[in-house]
């Protein structure tokens, strides 16, 4: 038994972390990340009004840090978080059969709650 009851501790490099992020904490962090991405887009649009040749302003270094931390905390070995954020544009492009189980049954991935369920589904 790990610290705090039945939480398992893992040691990676010289950092010990505990996989104890609950669904509400996960949703809060992902919602904030989605909001930051939206704000980043609005900021880019505003700057383009002043300088039409501006390509893009990005806070990608911080976004990568958050995504990598979430992946580590959630033990997302299949990279579902990146798939949901980047390929499915935070679930907006999710369609029927974006994710299926081994029998070909559709697994929803449109919402943050769906993402949580997929990451914690050890059968996928």
**pLDDT tens digit sequence for 54-107:** 877 777 888 999 999 999 999 999 999 999 999 999 999 999 989 998 888 999
Q: Residue 56's closest CA among 43, 66, 68, 69? A: 43
Q: Kindly state the DSSP code that residue 8 receives in the 8-state scheme.
A: P
The answer for residues whose C-beta is within 8 angstroms of residue 85's C-beta and 6 or more apart is 33, 37, 67
Model confidence over 8-67: pLDDT tens digits? 444 444 444 445 689 999 999 999 999 999 999 999 889 888 888 887 777 788 899 999
> Which residues, 6+ apart, have CB-to-CB distance to 60 below 8 Å?
none
Q: Is residue 3's pLDDT more than 70? A: no
Q: Which residues touch 123 (CB under 8 Å, ≥6 apart)? A: 101, 102
Which residue reads 């033990």 in tokens?
Answer: 75
């Amino acid at each position: 038994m790990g610290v705090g009851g039945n939480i398992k501790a893992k040691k990676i490099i010289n950092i010990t972390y505990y996989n104890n992020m609950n669904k509400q904490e996960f949703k809060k962090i992902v919602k904030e990340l989605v909001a930051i991405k939206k704000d980043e887009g609005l900021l880019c649009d505003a700057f383009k009004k002043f300088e039409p040749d501006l390509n893009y302003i990005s806070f990608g270094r911080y976004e990568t840090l958050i995504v990598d931390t979430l992946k580590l905390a959630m033990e997302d070995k299949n990279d579902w978080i990146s798939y949901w954020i980047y390929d499915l544009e935070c679930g907006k492009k999710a369609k029927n059969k974006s994710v299926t189980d081994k029998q070909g049954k559709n697994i929803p991935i449109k919402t943050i709650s769906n993402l949580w369920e997929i990451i914690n589904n050890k059968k996928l």
